[in-house]
Structure 1
Amino acid sequence: MTSVTTRDYAWIRSSPLFDCALEIGYTLSLVRGVAPREVLRVMEAEPQGSCTGADALIERQDELRDPEDYSDGSFTAGAFTVPGEGGDWTLVLHVGEGGTGMQSRFLEALTDGGCAVVHSSNGGKPMHFFQWYEDGELRTTFEWHTARHGSTPDALNSALCEVGYVLSDDEDGTSEHVDTKAAAFALAERLTGVRVTEELLQGAEYQLGHVPEEPVEEWTGIVIDITDAHGERLYKEFTRAEIEGSQG
């Protein structure tokens, strides 16, 4: 495991690429032992050739996205191989609206017997996420590092502290200023051995795939669960058939 800290990722704050990624959203995923083409296949991506550099990847995303369809959830992902801890890893980058480049079902399939680390931002609001999958299981995930979830939410606590996070009960979760986004990059390197740099992202040859929008699941019913100020609870389940029948 490397001795990387937030200082090693200070470059993100002077990077035009990362400034763009934070503004419009991004997802950066690292998947161990699965080739780029296979990663894109699991993501159900339609092959779109290749390009060199993250700027070209963003341009291709813009070309394939319908500018008038604000609800379009499809995106273009770029993937390439990079050496890391325990062998080769595939780095998958998506920069675009929403930063939703890796669904949980993709990660569960890709880490069956393997490992993946993902960090992302949805842009705008913003909301930032970190996920560590191993053997098809979400081991640790968090939006804010003092509120961790997953099957082993505290397994990374030592690494979190070593890269610069402060695990405390302070209101803001830290006793000093910590660049939590730089810390997320550093934590990802601790787990993967992959050093991400501006030069790496801008010089890589990306294999491209256009990932379709996730299908919307049909709703089957609703649940009303309300507790009033006196502690009285109202809980009621309604099926779709009951609701649609009452409208007839």
Structure 2
Amino acid sequence: MIATPDDYAWFSYERFPELAEAYCFTYVHGRTPEQLVVRLGGRPEDFTPMTLEELIETRHRNSYDTAFLGATTIGDWVFIVEPNGGLGTDEEIITSLSAGTRLVSHFRDVEGVECFYWSEDGELRFCFIADEGYSEEVPDEVVEIMQRIDADYRHLYPSDGPAFLLAEHLTGITLTPELLEGSTYLCGIIPEPR
């Protein structure tokens, strides 16, 4: 069965009001949450296991000038959730974290800016920014799905489904509300992202 944006209609303001308004989801292949924290300049011993609800509540109590995130393992991937965060949109961080592996991220901020990134082995392979379009050349790996998105879902913003479809295509992970809510995240502040 081929996924459609409707399969991700659950990611809504009604179900996830604090998260759907402003989020960044980042997937990194072949790493552990602890390895990602270290690569970002944090110390795993300063991080605490939390539920999604605790992650969101704690984020709201912290300064928005800090990078607060939660990371969990899904299969061979680390899945990072940033309520109202954006490490997964910083091209320097993205390319650094993707060295020797694959990274996929998508983002929405409170002003409605939305984007999608795919980086592989330190190189930005594809970028899709709502209202601006995509990077110059669409790689073969995503041509078919981008044609489908363009033909059938052009009117949708990335967070209304297309970004989830691209992430699923590139990671093999079908994000579900049960997976998002049922995971335990290693959570904390990255003092000075690098």
TM-score by length of 1: 0.68
Structure 2 unaligned blocks of 5 or more: none
Residues 38/132 of structure 1: CA separation in 2 closer, same or farther (3 Å cut) = same
Which residue matches 1:62?
A: 60
Residues 213/121 of structure 1: CA separation in 2 closer, same or farther (3 Å cut) = farther
State how far apart, in whole Å, the 2-side matches of 1:6 and 1:146 are. Answer: 20
Which residue matches 1:225?
A: none
Which residue matches 2:150?
A: 166
Bigger drift between 204-213 and 31-40 goes to 204-213
Q: CA RMSD in A?
A: 2.5
Which residue matches 1:157?
A: 143
Indicate the structure whose relative CO is greater, using CA pairs within 8 Å and at least 6 residues apart. Answer: 2
Give matches, 1:1-248, under 5 Å: 3-13=2-12, 15-17=14-16, 19-23=17-21, 25-47=22-44, 48-65=46-63, 72-83=64-75, 88-96=76-84, 99-102=85-88, 103-123=90-110, 125-144=111-130, 147-149=133-135, 152-155=137-140, 156-162=142-148, 165-166=149-150, 174=154, 177-178=155-156, 180-181=158-159, 182-213=161-192
Identity %: 27
Instruction: Give the aligned residue type for 2:68.
Output: T
State how far apart, in whole Å, the 2-side matches of 1:180 and 1:126 are. Answer: 10
Asked if structure 1 preserves the Cα contact closer than 8 Å seen for 2:50 and 2:187, the reply is no
Task: Looking at secondary structure, tell me which structure has more helix per residue.
Answer: 2
State how far apart, in whole Å, the 1-side matches of 2:74 and 2:116 are. Answer: 20
- Aligned pairs, how many? 190
SS at match of 1:112: coil
Deviations 1:108-127 (A, max 9, x none): 2221121010000121x210
